[in-house]
Amino acid sequence: MNARAIYDVPAPAKLNLFLHVVGRRADGYHRLESAFMLIDWCDTLHFELRTDGRIQRHDLGPKLPENDLCIQAARLIQTVSSSPLGVDIHLEKRIPSQAGMGGGSSDAASTLLALNRLWGLGMRSDQLLTLGLQLGADVPFFLFGKNAWVTGIGEQLEAIELPRGQFLVVKPAQGLPTARIFSDPGLRRDSPPAIIFDFVENPFNYGRNDLQDVALKHCPELGTALNWLAKAGLQGRMTGSGSALFAPVPEGWQKDIPKCPFVHRFCENMPSHPLMGWSG
- Residues with catalytic roles: 14, 138
How would you class 26 by CB atoms within 10 Å of its CB: exposed for 0-12, middle for 13-18, buried for 19 or more?
exposed
Amino acid at 265: R
**β-pairing, 30-50 with 148-151?**
antiparallel
The answer to whether 37 and 14 are in contact (CB under 8 A) is yes
In 3D space, the residue among 67, 90, 77, 268 whose CA is nearest the CA of residue 165 turns out to be 268
In 3D space, the residue among 175, 145, 139, 178 whose CA is nearest the CA of residue 159 turns out to be 145
Q: How far apart are CA 124 and CA 11, in angstroms?
A: 20
Q: Is the dihedral of CA 109, 115, 118, 119 positive or negative?
A: negative
Cα 190 versus chain centre, distance: 24
The answer to whether 147 and 161 are in contact (CB under 8 A) is yes
